[in-house]
Chain A
Amino acid sequence: MNIFRLAGDMTHLLSILVLLLKIYATKSCSGISRKTQELYAIVFVARYLDLFTDFISVYNTFMKVVFIASSLAIVWCMRFHPMVRRSYDRELDTFRHYFLVGASFALALILHEKFTVQEIFWAFSIYLEAVAILPQLVLLQRSGNVDNLTGQYIFFLGAYRAFYILNWIYRYLTEPHFTRWIACVSGVVQTALYADFFYYYFISWKNNSKLKLPA
């Protein structure tokens, strides 16, 4: 564990807390893509199949359980909570996310570290996480306006990815055999998807104005 990895995990956790806060405090999920949230739930369940087979640390197990539980809770709220579900921007959230699931799984069957069920699901979760933000970014682009908490949610999610890249650079320089091509290449792709959002986020922050994305 290095400082970048910890910062990455903490900003990831923070992003989820911000999202839960938004849903809980405003009883609204407007501006949030349910498809992206469903993809994250699939990502965590597929990746943490090792929860019962490999013990790494209490921290590791705790975080895995938190990520699985929170992502399922968010999806549950958006689908079934009587008030929250009414605010869902159904007509804006039309990205064909099943294509992302299919393409990620096909890629995992081709590119993986070992041909075992657990390793294929692990690779699948890495590929799917890389593109899972796309429905969310498309929804924001369509609605144009981004409320503060939604903007902060995506900002922290992007920060988490940026810290993970610094973590890999640090590990590459300090650990003799650190080569994780699948995770690192997918991670760079994932972070690049946030570049556009970050650009507009910083402009609005600099001008102290409301975050708006161009149509």
Chain B
Amino acid sequence: GDVDDAKDEL
């Protein structure tokens, strides 16, 4: 899993 993705959810 990639945990580096930006936190795009609110």
Residues of chain A at the chain B interface (Cβ within 8 Å):
5, 9, 12, 50, 54, 56-57, 60, 63-64, 67, 113-114, 122, 164, 167, 177, 179, 183
A164 to B8, CA, bound (A): 13
Instruction: Tally A-B pairs: CB < 8 A.
Output: 27
Chain B residues in 8 Å Cβ range of A114 = 3
Of all chain B residues, the one with the shortest Cβ separation from A160 is B10
Interface-centre pick from B3, B5, B6, B10 (highest chain A CB count, 10 A): B10
Consensus secondary structure, chain B interface: loop
Q: Which of B1, B2, B6 contacts A54 (CB 8 A)?
A: B6
A/B interface sample: 27 pairs, CB < 8 A: A5-B9, A9-B10, A12-B10, A50-B7, A54-B6, A54-B7, A56-B6, A56-B7, A56-B8, A57-B8, A60-B8, A60-B10, A63-B10, A64-B10, A67-B10, A113-B3, A114-B3, A122-B7, A164-B9, A167-B9, A177-B1, A177-B2, A177-B5, A179-B1, A179-B2, A179-B3, A183-B9
